[in-house]
Structure 1
Amino acid sequence: MSTFIYFLCLSLLTSVSKSMIDSTSLYLSPTILFPDYQNMLISFKIYIYTPPNALSFSSPTESNFFTCLQNSPFVTQNPEEAHLYFVPFSSNLSTRSVARFIRDLRMEFPYWNRTLGADHFYVSCAGLGYESDRNLVELKKNSVQISCFPTTEGRFVPHKDITFPPHAQGNRTAKYLGFVRYNEVKESNLVNELRKDSDFLIESEPSNGMTLVGRLGSSVFCLFEYGADVSGIGEALRFGCVPVMVMDRPMQDLPLMDVIGWQKIAIFVGSRGGVKEVKRVLDRTCKDDECAGRRRLGVVASQHFVWNHMPQPYDSFHMVMYQLWLRRHAIRYARREFV
């Protein structure tokens, strides 16, 4: 994206912010978000290290993010003025090769050793596990990991790491209580139970977009089982279908957790109580007026779940960048010797 186009978009931010300010209850800190976001656009600088090999990513989200980053004004060729440093490596790169890459950065540049990697970030959709190698320990413990949602258990550090918003592809009459778009090979017990309840529509992914829009528009709730396909969250929000996140443990890796109040746009329920418990929670937590409020805020939130080829204000790319901006004040760990 050219600098001219970028700052043309920047000039539109005032009008965009005014339209969003009416729904500020969606955001955790609206009085901070909007001015801080604009400050980020002007000030934020990132230095990209040269990757060890030609990059290859396992998901379109990773690839799209890297392309947008490369073409953005955030990138600087002067590492001395950078707030954060991006460590690029392919999704299929072995842990040994990643460790070697970090070792080379440590020897060639002074920036890693200043913070032991705390002002660095990397992209890994699957997330990195814990290894014994010094370089991998520092990368996992200190650097910001951007991964895909939902994350693999044990490969996400709350309050440090962040997740990409899923790559998402008015008046309404609700025909179904809940819609579940299920395309996993192995169905869960809850999905099998929901299939027998006429209040819920259970099917594999519709063959065309208009069918999906019709399903979303005719359902009060859209159920997403944690660990299954969650790519439709953005679309559900956009078309007024309240997301219901089904999981049996606290959710600490939701996209944009630093920015939006998920409790205001989604409902959380466990799976162990079956359909009866799901219905009880939905009836208790989402009366008519409350559901209308969730849908209204959900439509506002949906703009943050859009991945554009040419980034637009407040879209997924910029909201990921904003979360990185919030983490730019790196913790400088004391040096220690590794045996």
Structure 2
Amino acid sequence: MNKSLKIYVYPHSKDDPFANVLLPPDTDCKGNYASELMFKKALMESHFVTKDPNEAHLFYMPFSISSMRSDPRIDVHGIPDFVQNYISNITLKYHYWNRTGGADHFYVACHSIGKIAFEKAFVARLNVIQLVCSSTYFPSSYLPHKDASLPQVWPRGGDPPNLLTSQRKRLAFFAGAVNSPVRIALLKVWENDTEIFAHFGRLNTPYSEQFLGSKFCIHVKGFEVNTARVADALFYGYVPIILANHYDLPFSDILNWKSFSVVVHHIDIPVLKKILQGISNEEFAMLQSNALRVRKHFQWHTPPIDFDAFHMSMYELWKRRSVVRVRLTPSMEFM
């Protein structure tokens, strides 16, 4: 993959009125939805990009959902129109889409609002590869095996900490908004517990203090399954607890999540403490050791480095590339 995969990125000028949506950002990417912008920056600084569409295995449509969402000219409700117009424009100017109906094209989205992007381009939605953070099996917008799960990562500065297990005196930690039945159930059972810290809303102290003082971090489905909490757990040396049924975990066809996390069904929330207490010190040490080993896969770098989140995402795309490649002739490149 590293030597062979080639991506053609649809070109756009800095003078384009929507350059803020189509081009990589000039500044550092921050916040919950940074992953889609970090991917774009990393790709454009990588050796995977080709200017020759004849070499391309895949074609990247570089519009950013998070940028569209915050652009008052587009806004959330205008995203489907923007995507529909974008596809119409590239099919008029180029023939790459028409060869496969978009099956060798992909886009990247981290905000959950990305699930509406193809509402007005139904056929395209069935074909285009989606690399998205909101990867739940239920919405018809996400098709496992065609699409792939992107890790939602809040970029953290500096080197990851590496504290000893003995410094983690609390059993488990969760803090967040109560915006789903699963979170309501978790808080109802464990809000007043002394070993499982379950907190509603924002903390008065830095999250890192709670991260570094606990053995497990609980990832609970909110409005959507995606959250930066899993990547944060790995960054701070936690073992993640996954409480999000029907979630296509990032890189799940590459990594063995059971080797570095604990996956718990919603119905087992009342016995969560018993489950965690049943994990021996030796088992926890193995889980944490593996968590520290895999956290490099959940970090972004520009330029990208081997085995980081960018290269893992590229491998997911490599596995989904079309097995049929049509070589273009000069007469096919433009209408």
Residue equivalent to 2:21: 56
Residue equivalent to 1:34: none
Residue equivalent to 1:84: 58
Q: Return 108-117 or 74-83, whichever deviates more.
A: 108-117
> Distance between the aligned counterparts of 1:303 and 1:206, measured in 2?
27
Residue equivalent to 2:7: 46
Q: CA deviation at 1:183?
A: 4.7
- Is the 2:133–2:150 contact (alpha carbons within 8 Å) kept by the matching residues of 1? yes
> Distance between the aligned counterparts of 1:319 and 1:177, measured in 2?
31
Q: 1:303 aligns with which of 296, 301, 311?
A: 296
> Distance between the aligned counterparts of 2:142 and 2:316, measured in 1?
15
1:277-323 CA distance string (max 9 Å, x none): 21233244x22222211111111111111112332211111111111
Alpha-carbon spacing, 1:118–1:75, altered in 2? closer, same or farther (3 Å)? same
> Distance between the aligned counterparts of 1:306 and 1:300, measured in 2?
12
User: What letter is aligned with 1:47?
Assistant: Y
Q: 1:148 aligns with which of 119, 123, 133?
A: 133
| Contiguous gaps of at least 5 residues in structure 1 | 1-39, 333-339
| 3-state SS, counterpart of residue 117 of structure 1 | coil
Q: 1:117 aligns with which of 98, 102, 105?
A: 102
TM alignment of 1:209-248, pairs within 5 A = 212-227=207-222, 230-247=227-244
1:35-84 CA distance string (max 9 Å, x none): xxxxx222221111135732438932212211221222211111111110
TM alignment of 1:1-339, pairs within 5 A = 40-51=1-12, 53-56=18-21, 59-91=33-65, 92=68, 94-125=79-110, 126=112, 127-129=114-116, 133=120, 136-149=121-134, 153-154=138-139, 155-168=141-154, 169=156, 170-173=163-166, 174-183=168-177, 188-203=184-199, 212-227=207-222, 230-247=227-244, 249-251=245-247, 253-275=248-270, 277-284=271-278, 286-330=279-323
Identity %: 30
Alpha-carbon spacing, 1:237–1:59, altered in 2? closer, same or farther (3 Å)? closer
Runs of at least 4 residues off by over 6 Å: none
| 3-state SS, counterpart of residue 324 of structure 1 | helix
Q: CA deviation at 1:198?
A: 0.7
- Is the 2:39–2:310 contact (alpha carbons within 8 Å) kept by the matching residues of 1? yes
> Distance between the aligned counterparts of 2:11 and 2:259, measured in 1?
41
| 3-state SS, counterpart of residue 249 of structure 2 | coil
- Is the 1:147–1:162 contact (alpha carbons within 8 Å) kept by the matching residues of 2? yes
- Is the 1:176–1:218 contact (alpha carbons within 8 Å) kept by the matching residues of 2? yes
User: What letter is aligned with 1:172?
Assistant: T
- Is the 2:108–2:130 contact (alpha carbons within 8 Å) kept by the matching residues of 1? yes
| CA-based RMSD | 2.8
User: What letter is aligned with 1:54?
Assistant: A
- Is the 1:194–1:200 contact (alpha carbons within 8 Å) kept by the matching residues of 2? yes
